[in-house]
Structure 1
Amino acid sequence: GYATSTFGKWGMGFFDTSGSPSNQGVDHFFGYNCQRHAHSYFPTYLYDDKQPFLLPGNDGKTVGKTYAQELIQNDMIRWVREHADEPFMMFYAITLPHGRHEIDDLGIYADKSWSLKQKSYAAQVTRIDSDMGELVDTLQELGIDKNTLIVFTGDNGSSFNPKSDIGKLFEQSSNDLRGYKRGMYEGALRQAAFARWPGTVPAGRVDDQPWAFWDIMPTFVELSGATPPPGYETDGKSLVGYLKGGPAPKRDYFYWELHTDAPIQATRFGHWKAVRNGITKPTELYNLQSDPGESNNVAAANPNLIAKAEQIFKDAHRPDPNWPLTGKSEAHAKSAVAAWALTRERVKQEWAPPGAVERPASGTSSTPQ
């Protein structure tokens, strides 16, 4: 079998739930086990597996003395070295360059005539680059890089309003795509990615055929030879042939659904893209081949395509009482308010979980064996 690990941010469930990393096939976890907690890059604590440990000199409110990403990166490199002689699968959920845009070293941006937030964001992006470089260097040093597939991507398209301070400085709208994070237009959904597997993934190949992150699971299932457990379901398609130089897998459509205050949906079939910004809103239609910026809504001229898109919205949606298309459920709304209130109170108190320990200086695991 494979040794498995996750580093960075885990947001699928706390340790006493079915969503805990240890209940999801993860042998080793290191980082934040909370989306809200991960907004601080100088938190009062992190987790080494289930064991919380303290970060000296941090209050969780400001730039402190111990940069979380440094510890996460170091533990990741340590784990790769320890498992270099066996098959492994690692999910590296790097928090950078997410808000609050904090970093321990502004580096080459320190003297720029930018705001501190702009400098910090740029330094975070550069830090990702150097950290990924260290990972590749380590794989090469260990002699396993040609037998290791790396897939690198983000979790959304443009992150900022083009009119914001970061959006303007870094020209977030320069891709000529409409929208940004938390939307259903291409500027929010399209995300570049790269795959590295020397000798297997064709070097230098650049391709614009679409695929989706839900294709990663069936890809890894095929590569590992694993037998999916009973009840395994996926909307994804294996990318193995595509990664080796073939065409992207064919499918009937892509489907997206996002639950903000008003749930929104989108589908792409062929070169057509449909967007519905709320269950009571009209469905919009765009021809991505001639209009990738989604500036010309051609819904009125294509009633048959609108009917097809709305049928996809109906067929692809999986009803769940926690995520109704009519809006946030009362229980969900209350739990979100309560969770953020608790987070703010804990930040004010410079809280750490009961049982948090001092981490050994050597960086070895503090989890009892």
Structure 2
Amino acid sequence: MKKKCGSLGVFLCMGFVVASAVVGAERPNIVVFLADDMGWGDVRCNGNEKMITPNIDKLASQGVRFTQCYSACGVCSPSRSAILTGRTPYRNGVWRHLSGNGPSHLRASETTYPELLRAAGYETCHVGKWHLLSKNQFNNPEFPQPGDHGYDYWFYTHNNAAPSHKNPNNFVRNGEPAGELEGYSAPIVAHEGIHWLDEVRDPSKPFALSVWFHEPHAPVATDPRFSSLYEGDRNAKHLGNITQLDFALGALLDALEERGLSENTLIIFTSDNGPEGKGGATGGSTGGLRGRKRNDYEGGIRVPGVVRWPGHIEPGTVSDVPVIGSDIFSTVLAVCGIPQPTDRTIDGVSMLPAFEGKPVARKTPLFWRTHVSPPEDRLAMRIDNWKLVANDTMTAFELYDIPNDAQEENNLAQQMPEKTEEMKKILVKLWKEIEAEGPRDWWEGEKQKPKSGGKLSY
């Protein structure tokens, strides 16, 4: 693997010193839960009375629920990369859904929050889906694996649980295939996280745990005890799959409570993008928002968002402040007393003010670019109330006042040409900056191949 060195190595050492010098409080543990293809409307606490999600709802009642929480992309690999790096996906190299073979991956040169926490004395663990490598790179030491991005322990799959959520056989634990596992994916993932808490981690150290579920991504397989809760509904399997995830989340939350860890643990729950399918019997709910997965309208990128931090967040808080997946990076560093890197652009900001419903100060506007296949690239940018949606060539634009038109039914571009032009100029400039920082050759045909040693230059 390409090693980090020079100024970044110095920064990591400095991060350790600063974090070790935090005075007056024990450093908090960090747990980040991530659902896969869960729509904004797929939880009861966001108004879907059909859903049975008692643990997510309880988490919201104990902390803050964000009504305008966004993933950093309309598909999963890019949005996951932003969570770990605080950087919009095109900057960090994960510019599209990493479904096949190719050079793209989360670059070794990127700095993740688990890396910085590990350098500061944290124990780190990832359980569940990864999907930050191309298929040919999974569990291949020539490419950066979770251990190269800051995790001491990892139990992961490339993409989906296979052959489905039931009895998956494609998990790898610290480089070794785990074989066929009996049960359903989310409870299996939660059980592994509990095993790590009890049997692996050093209890004298603070910890950071990533729990990235596969549910409710297709192909769905649901334990009958959960699908039966929706008996008679044509979408019972999918709905039950979300309750299956909720059950697994609850098991881990109970484990934290039983071990006396809850009070000093920051918990974040969100999703990687909006729901798959067309709704009804074929997918989840956007809560009435326009668009779905693979789309930069609200339904493709607005997702559930809940944060609990006892003693720091007033229980039952509802925040309308827009936040995005890349903010997780900055927030985790802020609560752990670790400085952000200064040698690169960080798009995310700390959500700490938003925990109280106060606005956050952004240098970089909220930005999305979701690539499916030409000409289906889409871009979007939000500044305050205003959201601009553009086509892939940035020649056609739509303007929406999101707080007053969350369904994006009223395109104001022609009615407000001056505001549209103002937003357009900012978007074009922002994209040029992002494009210049990322590995442009990867997204221009993905023609770059590994050299003789099998290693890439990124």
**TM exceeding 0.5:** yes
Q: Which has the larger radius of gyration?
A: 1
Q: Deviations over 1:138-162 (max 9, x none)?
A: 1111112110010001112343324
Please, which of 328, 351, 361 is the counterpart of residue 250 of structure 1? 361
**Residue number in structure 1 paired with 2:170:** 45
Please, which of 3, 10, 21 is the counterpart of residue 146 of structure 2? 21
**Residue number in structure 2 paired with 1:89:** 208
**Residue number in structure 2 paired with 1:315:** 429
Query: 1 CA distance for matches of 2:163 and 2:302?
Result: 24
Supply the AA of the counterpart residue of 2:446. A
- 1:109–1:122 Cα contact (<8 Å) kept: no
**Residue number in structure 1 paired with 2:75:** none
Please, which of 140, 143, 149 is the counterpart of residue 257 of structure 2? 140
- Please give the TM-score of this superposition, normalised by the length of structure 2: 0.63
CA shift, 1:217, in A, is 0.5
**Residue number in structure 1 paired with 2:277:** 160
Are residues 189 and 205 of structure 1, via their aligned partners in 2, closer, same or farther at CA, if it must alter by over 3 Å?
Answer: same
Q: Deviations over 1:194-248 (max 9, x none)?
A: 11122211101111111111011011112222344563431011112333x2513
Please, which of 291, 302, 307 is the counterpart of residue 195 of structure 1? 307
Q: Deviations over 1:273-313 (max 9, x none)?
A: 11013215411111223322111111112222222222232
Query: 2 CA distance for matches of 1:157 and 1:52?
Result: 30
**Residue number in structure 1 paired with 2:232:** 113
Greater than 6 Å deviation, 4+ residue runs: none
Other structure's SS at 1:130 match: helix
State the Cα RMSD in Å: 2.7
Query: 1 CA distance for matches of 2:306 and 2:411?
Result: 31
**Residue number in structure 2 paired with 1:31:** 156
State the percentage of identical aligned residues. 28
Supply the AA of the counterpart residue of 1:268. R
**Residue number in structure 2 paired with 1:131:** 248
Please, which of 203, 221, 230 is the counterpart of residue 102 of structure 1? 221
Stretch deviating more after TM superposition (99-108 or 193-202) = 99-108
Aligned pair count reads 314
**Residue number in structure 1 paired with 2:294:** 182
Q: Deviations over 1:153-186 (max 9, x none)?
A: 1112343324x5245xx6x35x332111111111
- Please give the TM-score of this superposition, normalised by the length of structure 1: 0.77
Q: Deviations over 1:30-55 (max 9, x none)?
A: 121x1256573233331111111211
Query: 2 CA distance for matches of 1:181 and 1:39?
Result: 22
CA shift, 1:192, in A, is 2.1
In structure 2, list runs of 5 or more residues that go unmatched.
1-120, 450-458
In structure 1, list runs of 5 or more residues that go unmatched.
57-64, 335-369
Are residues 212 and 310 of structure 1, via their aligned partners in 2, closer, same or farther at CA, if it must alter by over 3 Å?
Answer: same
Query: 1 CA distance for matches of 2:313 and 2:238?
Result: 31
CA shift, 1:103, in A, is 2.6
Other structure's SS at 1:289 match: helix
Query: 2 CA distance for matches of 1:225 and 1:294?
Result: 39
- 1:55–1:66 Cα contact (<8 Å) kept: no
Stretch deviating more after TM superposition (226-235 or 41-50) = 226-235
CA shift, 1:270, in A, is 1.4
**Residue number in structure 2 paired with 1:344:** none
Higher relative contact order (CA 8 A, sep 6+): 2
Supply the AA of the counterpart residue of 1:291. D
Q: Is 1:331 the equivalent of 2:446?
A: yes
Supply the AA of the counterpart residue of 2:168. P
Q: Is 1:266 the equivalent of 2:388?
A: no
- 2:381–2:387 Cα contact (<8 Å) kept: yes
Supply the AA of the counterpart residue of 1:143. G
Are residues 104 and 315 of structure 1, via their aligned partners in 2, closer, same or farther at CA, if it must alter by over 3 Å?
Answer: same
Are residues 293 and 125 of structure 1, via their aligned partners in 2, closer, same or farther at CA, if it must alter by over 3 Å?
Answer: same
Query: 2 CA distance for matches of 1:8 and 1:19?
Result: 17
**Residue number in structure 2 paired with 1:286:** 400
Supply the AA of the counterpart residue of 2:178. F
Other structure's SS at 2:380 match: strand
CA shift, 1:316, in A, is 2.3
Stretch deviating more after TM superposition (148-157 or 303-312) = 303-312
Are residues 301 and 40 of structure 1, via their aligned partners in 2, closer, same or farther at CA, if it must alter by over 3 Å?
Answer: same
- 1:7–1:76 Cα contact (<8 Å) kept: yes
Are residues 307 and 19 of structure 1, via their aligned partners in 2, closer, same or farther at CA, if it must alter by over 3 Å?
Answer: farther
Please, which of 399, 420, 439 is the counterpart of residue 306 of structure 1? 420
CA shift, 1:191, in A, is 1.4
